[in-house]
Structure 1
Amino acid sequence: MSVWVAVTDTLALLAAITIAWLIRGTFRPSSLRPSLLLVVLAPLVYLAVFAGFRLYSLSRLSPAEEFRRILAAVSAAISGLVVLCFWFGLSPHRVSIAMTWALSLVFTLVSRRLWHQWMGRLRFRGDLQFRTLIIGTTAEADHLLGAMRAKGLGFQVVGHVCTGEEYERLDGLRVYGSLRHLRSAVDESGADCVFMASTAVTPEAMAEVSRVVRSRPIEVRVSSNMTEIMTSRLMVQQVGSLVALSLKAVRLTGPQAVAKRTLDIVLGSLAFVISLPLWGVVALAIKLDTRGRVLYRQERIGRDARPFSILKFRTMVVGAEAMLEGLQSKNEATGPLFKLRLDPRVTRVGSWLRMWSLDELPQLLNVLKGDMSLVGPRPPLPNEVARYEDWHHDRLVVRPGITGLWQVRGRSQLPFDDYVRLDLYYIENWSVAYDLYILMKTVPAILLRKGAY
């Protein structure tokens, strides 16, 4: 499968180069004759860089991680190709280079997306499965077995290596014995993946697993019970003769903070200028629909629990907050949130604005002011924060955003705790590329009205 993915990556590069040169009007087949070696080397360099970023490994990457790696790989590969061009005496135009980079990135992302969709359908049908051995106690194996048999995940559980004292056969699953039988279990089952329960991770167990998989192309995964700690914060460090896990603090400081703020100012200013004509249309629609102000100010809680005034286009009738108490019994949301699909306080125009998220356009001013970011956790109300559990407060360590993972994963449909977990995942894994990925995913989420009300 990796071979065919590499073929499509090569085609993406060649298509990008050809289109960029055709648009510039500088493509001449005769100009390549002295540099036929370059034509051969270019795809090889491209694929070598992609392989270096582990874009052809068996491990499945999260969409954000894959986006980050592809962005870095395309940038590095195109830079390498430019150096090769100068080495062979060619002087590519800067516009052609920029267009090749942009088109290569787009074509590669599209081809990878198509590959994932196709492989997802195959996995859902029961093809392209990882033959997986579970290592753990009977109870842990039962839990993992139930989770891994969900359709579309791509795991075919072929056996259980028990670390407990008593062996029990689970739902027809073969038990291969204890860890000392792992080598024969792998050989007999034809496993290409070993999934370890968290309590099975002992020095002795890891040493045995390492010995068994050393000469075999087997992927090892560990189920973590550290649900409140994101793996991006964990680093393995050598401390003298000890191996330790180091837990990083969650703060955007220094270059990271500067990069995120720069992105907010540049893209926020651009979005503000482009959307200005729409502001007039929305304002006129609100005034014609109901009496009251066009813009609505509300106190929200921002970074480090500091309050600020958020701006929105008004979508409710005047006096809506006074009506809230009488509607609490109809609340459809979980946790401290209040959500009502058919909220009687929402105006006709307000319902339309909310459906397309146009009521949030004025928050671009909050972004430019520095109270908010384009991407981040949604800013909560003070009364919501008062009802937070301790771990919910972790979402307040960064600037709140206009959009975020909650926006592209279901918007109003998510339970509150899942909402917070998505926020924490974003905070733990932040990068400029991740912000760009979420912004790109926000557009189809809004157009498809995913979970909006």
Structure 2
Amino acid sequence: MHSAFGGFTAVPGIAAAHQPAALSGTAWRRRYQVSLLASDSVLIVGVLLLAVNVLTLHAGIETLTDVLGLGGTMAVGWLTMMSLFRTRDARLVGTGAGEYKKVIRASSATFAAAAVAVVLLDLEHFRGLLVLALPSGTLLLLSSRWLWRQWLVHQSRLGHYLSKVVVVGRPTDVRYVAAQLAKNSGAAYTVVGAVYEGRTNPAALQTGDRVVPVISGLRKIEDFVALTGADAVIVAGHLRKGSSYIRELGWRLEGSSTELVLASALTNVAGPRITMRPVEGLPLMHVELPHFTGGRHVLKRAMDIVLSATALVVLAPLFLVLSVAIRLDSPGPAFFVQERAGKDSAVFRMVKFRSMVTTAEDELELLKEQNEGSGVLFKMRDDPRVTRIGRIIRKYSLDELPQFWNVLRGDMSLVGPRPPLVSEVSGYEEHTHRRLLIKPGLTGLWQVSGRSDLDWEESIRLDLYYVENWSVAGDLIIMWRTFKVMLQPVGAY
């Protein structure tokens, strides 16, 4: 039985400060939050002081007191907004785009309020403060958060700054959640044990490059938690004992101040659109409908046009060099044009640098028995049709660069699902067609998460997750991760 759980929801009122000898998940998160607060304060005060110095050179020294007063007020307001928008929320640190989105929203709210004050009070000399501080301050805050995250990820690889968790549920569900945590949790969780529901013959569980102990039965969970030193218990999927047992488990864990976390299959696709709305003590999980049109898509298209046009101009010399190299390496044109399925299954002609011999499509039938791809995809690590220069440009994804032209034309977007072959679409299951609800992308979650090393189900899961939950901030993060993947290729062949 296949199980898929993509998100975790902490149960309110159960978590508390943990006091083991080693630094617990709660303790390190608090220390990390204090560090974030300190760096945010230094950056905000610093950028406003710099803006004040620039302004006084032009506005005259007599305005210095007023400018300093407004700058100080803005610093306090900015830091307050950073707290109100929960930019240092312990559930966000180290993973996902949520942290960056909250920083952007807090900064935007700060300067919206400041702009209203400047207009209403007719503070002519202070408009420059907004113009100077808004973009530079927000960029510095985002850069700081990224640097902190890199440090946190590095620490997690050394086994530091991790919340130790025990995963509870049916064996299939436990193994899936443990595997996802080992692969995707970043600086969040490390599995230290597992509890299988029911009477089974437990064996040690392999999670990443570690082996953790397993027990069966739900009666002694709190003892097992104490033995492993876990900070949290993750309930994977639905337990046969039902919700009443989960409530009782929360009560039993209160004595050890251990956090209780629920892994839901629903959040695998709908995570960012889920909100909890309690009604008279009844916690309702509300899932917002995805939107495939509207203002955000207009902004996405505007970003596509500006960035793709800029890329085509900047990369023109590289295009020339690669075109010459490809033609000298093997007979045939420098570019390869292929029909792909776009939004709503509309067929378009996608442009790539040619990385194979010109007879590649004719030779495909002879190689199908050696297919190493998954699902309807054909992939071979040592495909004999790939040319010498082709192996280089495929490894570093340089063969994809001409797709900036498709983005400019509107056939594709900078970020989106992988553009499928028309023949692939005919083999899709019903739900897989949802990946065609938006334009395919030059890059996407599939490319930055392993590419050809992913199995078919995982590739589709990532595409569907993106289709229903994309955001502008998320797109920017994927673009940044794409640069890293190009420099350190994974699954590119």
Note whether the superposition's TM-score is higher than 0.5.
Answer: yes
Deviations 1:148-185 (A, max 9, x none): 7899765477999999799x999487999599xx9x99
Indicate how the Cα distance of structure 1 residues 24 and 278 shifts in structure 2: closer, same or farther if over 3 A, else same. farther
Provide the secondary structure at the position in 1 that maps to 2:351.
strand
Question: Structure 1: how far apart are the matches of 2:82 and 2:371?
Answer: 49
Query: Alpha-carbon deviation of 1:9?
Result: 0.8
Contact 1:82 1:92 in 2 (8 A): no
Contact 1:332 1:340 in 2 (8 A): yes
Of 195, 198, 207, 2:234 maps to 195
Residue 106 of structure 2 is matched in structure 1 by 73
Alignment of 1:30-109 (within 5 A): 32-34=64-66, 37-60=69-92, 62-81=95-114, 89=123, 91-92=125-126, 94=128, 97-109=130-142
Residue 265 of structure 2 is matched in structure 1 by 225
Count residues in correspondence: 449
Letter in 1 for 2:48: I
Indicate how the Cα distance of structure 1 residues 17 and 410 shifts in structure 2: closer, same or farther if over 3 A, else same. farther
Higher mean C-alpha displacement, 10-19 vs 297-306: 10-19
Give the TM-score taking structure 2 as reference length. Answer: 0.73
Alignment of 1:49-448 (within 5 A): 49-60=81-92, 62-81=95-114, 89=123, 91-92=125-126, 94=128, 97-130=130-163, 154-155=188-189, 171=213, 177=219, 193-200=232-239, 204=244, 220-226=260-266, 229-235=269-275, 245-448=285-488
Question: Structure 1: how far apart are the matches of 2:177 and 2:474?
Answer: 30
Higher mean C-alpha displacement, 216-225 vs 369-378: 216-225
Indicate how the Cα distance of structure 1 residues 169 and 385 shifts in structure 2: closer, same or farther if over 3 A, else same. closer
Question: Structure 2: how far apart are the matches of 1:210 and 1:47?
Answer: 35
Letter in 2 for 1:110: S
Query: Alpha-carbon deviation of 1:103?
Result: 2.6
Query: Alpha-carbon deviation of 1:404?
Result: 0.8
Residue 13 of structure 1 is matched in structure 2 by 44
Letter in 2 for 1:15: G
Q: Which has the higher contact order (CA 8 A, sep 6+)?
A: 2
Question: Structure 1: how far apart are the matches of 2:424 and 2:452?
Answer: 16
C-alpha RMSD of matched pairs (Å):
4.5
Contact 2:56 2:64 in 1 (8 A): no
Query: Alpha-carbon deviation of 1:400?
Result: 0.7
Question: Structure 2: how far apart are the matches of 1:422 and 1:47?
Answer: 35
Question: Structure 2: how far apart are the matches of 1:449 and 1:178?
Answer: 45
Higher mean C-alpha displacement, 185-194 vs 44-53: 185-194
Deviations 1:326-378 (A, max 9, x none): 22233332222122233332233333333333322332222222221111111
In structure 2, list runs of 5 or more residues that go unmatched.
1-30, 205-212
Query: Alpha-carbon deviation of 1:398?
Result: 1.3
In structure 1, list runs of 5 or more residues that go unmatched.
none
Query: Alpha-carbon deviation of 1:245?
Result: 4.7
Question: Structure 2: how far apart are the matches of 1:291 and 1:172?
Answer: 59
Indicate how the Cα distance of structure 1 residues 431 and 374 shifts in structure 2: closer, same or farther if over 3 A, else same. same
Indicate how the Cα distance of structure 1 residues 349 and 369 shifts in structure 2: closer, same or farther if over 3 A, else same. same
Indicate how the Cα distance of structure 1 residues 279 and 267 shifts in structure 2: closer, same or farther if over 3 A, else same. same
Contact 2:52 2:67 in 1 (8 A): no
Letter in 2 for 1:5: L
Contact 1:12 1:108 in 2 (8 A): yes
Question: Structure 2: how far apart are the matches of 1:432 and 1:283?
Answer: 33
Contact 1:299 1:310 in 2 (8 A): yes
Indicate how the Cα distance of structure 1 residues 23 and 282 shifts in structure 2: closer, same or farther if over 3 A, else same. farther
